[in-house]
Structure 1
């Protein structure tokens, strides 16, 4: 029997602010961190959290990850001294799709204007996609396996899945895991614009009849995962669980999803089967929901294949409507948003949703903060589903669970 993987720490830096609680508070309030067609972490100032040397040696995506990791580890009670496990038994897995694009673009301009001798030797360790995992491990003395998952927009979800597998295999006692991304430059936006994915209207509203694409954001989300036995032995507070993970590949097209939704549906089914959760037990669904016509349509097809009639009743929203698309960080931030919704018994809306696209079929789309139904799992826990789909045909899904946080009162189902 595989050990249960529990969450003991959450950390996030997003366009909604610094902190996992701030992410939930503002998302539930229907606020948006999007402005001028971008989701920037405007409240994040590296100097408030990091030394001058750390700032000089890291790209912004790593800085976001370091701060999110510090929050998660502090909540898990790891702040004083070494980790509560042998350092060699603590892994670090961080997803990132594009890496340090800001560092690369800056140094490319230096090369163009000043010559090769002025290019910084720090560019390579700053731009490499594994920099966030490396820096977190170095800062906190984590000497187990450290790696980066780079599978486009499913990177962080697959990182969490990898952490789950490491714990289940007995290869680690704990994993610091998540995703980070800060690729908001004009070059990146131009590439997505010419690919037909970027919103021309400057607003991204998944599942809306008038949706016209995604908006790019930046951010990081980090979770601390431990075995249930390990967390209990050290008296840690359990915030939730990762019950199941599923992943497949479309093997269909460079950027377009499989129009049948079959492979994506199988990823969801695999996650539910691993979690021993039925579609009818899901209390909330945080969809990938990018806001492109093609992605939203194919995702809804996949969800309908996997969940059947139960899909019509599950409260569903996309937090990309308030953060933008965080690429390699999206899955981790959305997993945190899902856990927070389950813990506080309130799901965040899809911000700006006015006219749901009737072509997507019957859906319980959330347009205002929605109290969640009473827990459906043993132990007074709610279950939630978070999905991620990436360019290249990467499909990944997580089933998460959490009991009510202390002081939570919203336990009846509501719908707008």
Structure 2
């Protein structure tokens, strides 16, 4: 019999704040974390805004010397993981067996920022001036590796690299590990710090990023005038725990993870399959895994990137799965406020999904001004609304045709 899995701790670093309480209060209030881009020279690009993390001091969360040997994406993951572990009151190595605690943290891009710095140093000063830490600062799995080292977690240690589905896949894959009884606890989520010249140039040249220079309304999911996503950075980490283990140690519980579905489009490297066919299958698999009917879902935290095809095909996918019930659902994209955290997006949005149930509020999709006739569902425009439901679904879709769906339930 599969084990039941609950969430007992959360931690986050986002463009809205360097902790989850600050971030969540702003999400509920419809406040945007998008601002003029600072990490790169905006004069070189037609992209002028981003969701950058502000005022982050790694020394507050880890040894300063060690922090300098980590990529920024790893620093975010370590900080968010330590917050989540503290939130869960998880005493690894004291009251919790370290061999029964695993780590699964995804990143879509890893340390590309550090690679760019070291590549320039290589060209300007030669190979002997390249940092000996460049490889561990670059490779995506080192976020999970470092978190394991910092926290003493000796169970399975892994990393899902599935573009913008990385965070959601990592949570879902960690869910399976606990369900199968391999460990009692997983530190799981996603992290990203890819606001770099090469990343922005690449996304811009494929016309994926918004060129709207106004940070107030550049990210506008489901709006007729959407023109691309706003790149962002940060990390979201959840503590997944086997239910009996959590109850035995008196842990607080945010909710239960009851369903996970993952599929591949087998269609195109960047464009979703027509009508979100792969996303439809991911949602159907998650519903089947959860043992619930579509009508039991109350709210969907959508992938909702603010690109033409994603918003259209995700809407079509929801209609394909939920039928007439799609018009009874509340659907919102919190990327309207955070921007798109790429490999960390699914993790931070999983946290928002849990907090929606806990606080009884559905976050808005801000900047929704001009309805698109092709998109006719309830996207919770501009203002949050009360929520008294018990089941939330969260979608994450990534380049390469990766689709991941997570379903959370409020415990009675």
TM-score by length of 2: 0.94
Contact 1:29 1:369 in 2 (8 A): yes
Structure 1: unaligned runs, 5 residues or longer: 376-381, 405-416
Q: CA deviation at 1:402?
A: 2.4
- Provide runs of 4+ in structure 1 moved above 6 Å: none
- Indicate which of 300, 306, 310 corresponds to 1:285: 300
User: Map of 1:193-204 to 2, 5 A cutoff?
Assistant: 193-202=204-213, 203-204=218-219
Residue 391 of structure 2: aligned partner: 383
Q: Determine helix, strand or coil for the equivalent of 1:350.
A: coil
- Indicate which of 233, 249, 259 corresponds to 2:264: 249
Determine the C-alpha separation between the residues in 1 that align with 2:12 and 2:409.
19
- Indicate which of 159, 170, 191 corresponds to 1:148: 159
User: Map of 1:16-415 to 2, 5 A cutoff?
Assistant: 16-36=16-36, 37-78=49-90, 80=91, 82=93, 84-202=95-213, 203-372=218-387, 374-375=388-389, 382-403=390-411
Q: Determine helix, strand or coil for the equivalent of 1:209.
A: coil
Query: Number of residue pairs matched?
Result: 396
Q: CA deviation at 1:151?
A: 0.5
Determine the C-alpha separation between the residues in 2 that align with 1:32 and 1:44.
18
Contact 1:312 1:364 in 2 (8 A): no
Determine the C-alpha separation between the residues in 2 that align with 1:105 and 1:197.
21
Contact 1:83 1:142 in 2 (8 A): no
Determine the C-alpha separation between the residues in 2 that align with 1:136 and 1:397.
25
Contact 1:83 1:141 in 2 (8 A): no
Q: CA deviation at 1:364?
A: 4.3
Determine the C-alpha separation between the residues in 2 that align with 1:311 and 1:256.
23
Determine the C-alpha separation between the residues in 2 that align with 1:18 and 1:276.
36
Q: Deviations over 1:181-222 (max 9, x none)?
A: 000012211100111101111412000010000010000000
Contact 2:111 2:139 in 1 (8 A): yes
Determine the C-alpha separation between the residues in 1 that align with 2:204 and 2:94.
44
Report the CA distance shift for 1:136/1:190 in structure 2 as closer, same or farther (over 3 A).
Answer: same
Q: CA deviation at 1:86?
A: 2.1
Determine the C-alpha separation between the residues in 1 that align with 2:62 and 2:100.
26
Q: CA deviation at 1:307?
A: 1.3
Report the CA distance shift for 1:85/1:399 in structure 2 as closer, same or farther (over 3 A).
Answer: same
Residue 378 of structure 1: aligned partner: none
Contact 2:365 2:379 in 1 (8 A): no
Q: Determine helix, strand or coil for the equivalent of 1:260.
A: helix
Residue 408 of structure 1: aligned partner: none
Report the CA distance shift for 1:60/1:364 in structure 2 as closer, same or farther (over 3 A).
Answer: closer
Report the CA distance shift for 1:208/1:228 in structure 2 as closer, same or farther (over 3 A).
Answer: same
Q: Determine helix, strand or coil for the equivalent of 1:18.
A: coil
Determine the C-alpha separation between the residues in 2 that align with 1:94 and 1:219.
13
Root-mean-square deviation (CA), in Å? 1.3
Q: Deviations over 1:103-145 (max 9, x none)?
A: 1111001101111110010111111101110010001111111
Contact 1:348 1:366 in 2 (8 A): no
TM-score by length of 1: 0.93
Contact 2:92 2:151 in 1 (8 A): no
Determine the C-alpha separation between the residues in 2 that align with 1:397 and 1:220.
19
